[in-house]
Amino acid sequence: MNPQRDHPGADMQGFVRELAAFVGLTDDDVALIRRTAPIVLQHERAITAALYEHFLKFPSTARFFLAEDGSPDPQRLERRKHSLARWLRETAEVAMTHDFVYYLLAVSLSHSHRQHGPGGKVPPQFMVGAMSLAQTAFAGLFRDALDAPDALDATVAWNKLLLVHLNVLLLGYFLPQPAK
């Protein structure tokens, strides 16, 4: 990142381009991600369901998805699954457009600056953990659908992209928190 630049949010596309170059996300990687996207997207519902089932297993993450009576809030879970599915679809396109990179920043801020809603602010370790769960799920899909060398190449390409996304998703945690 340019040391003269303000917060990366001032130029998200530049920040993302620089991160992509830093992690070695090449045009070949982008093409491979787009070619293997159907493998991920055909499992969109299973991936999103598994992720939220995982969150519900741990009190520290379940708290974000509970109703006032302490039971899982089905409406909230469905909204979150819908949001995750949107992220999966847009990620599969690898379109680092102005709108998409600022969408990622908005997701970051919605997790890091929550003033309302169950659970409050989402700690950054859960953002990192969720990305790890996604990486693991995708690697398993590629292992099952492709021969070993292609599965490895697809996993590496997707991991590069997911870590660019993770960097953006963590930006909100570095912004000043609003005064209480």
Give the number of other Cβ atoms within 10 Å of residue 102's Cβ: 14
Residue 24 has pLDDT above 80, yes or no: yes
Domain that includes residue 144, residue range: 33-174
User: Does any domain span residue 19?
Assistant: no
Q: What is the pLDDT of residue 178?
A: 57
pLDDT tens track for 130-150: 999 999 999 999 999 999 999
Under 8 Å between Cβ of 121 and 112: yes
What integer is the mean pLDDT of 52-58?
97
**CATH number of the domain residue 162 falls in:** 1.10.490.10
Burial of 34 by CB count in 10 Å (0-12 exposed, 13-18 middle, 19+ buried)? middle
What integer is the mean pLDDT of 102-108?
89
User: Does any domain span residue 16?
Assistant: no
Count of the separate structural domains present in the chain: 1
| Closest among 176, 23, 156, 5 to 96, alpha carbons compared | 23
User: Does any domain span residue 27?
Assistant: no
Instruction: Kindly report the three-state secondary structure assignment for every residue of the chain.
Output: CCCCCCCHHHHHHHHHHHHHHHHCCCHHHHHHHHHHHHHHHCCHHHHHHHHHHHHHCCHHHHHHHECCCCCECHHHHHHHHHHHHHHHHHHHHCCCCHHHHHHHHHHHHHHHCCCCCCCCCCCHHHHHHHHHHHHHHHHHHHHHHCCHHHHHHHHHHHHHHHHHHHHHHHHHHHCCCCCC
User: Does any domain span residue 179?
Assistant: no
This prediction has a pTM of: 0.88
User: Does any domain span residue 37?
Assistant: yes
User: Does any domain span residue 110?
Assistant: yes
Query: What does pLDDT average to over the chain?
Result: 90
Number of Cα atoms under 13 Å in the Cβ half of residue 58: 9
What's the first-to-final CA gap in the chain, in angstroms?
A: 31
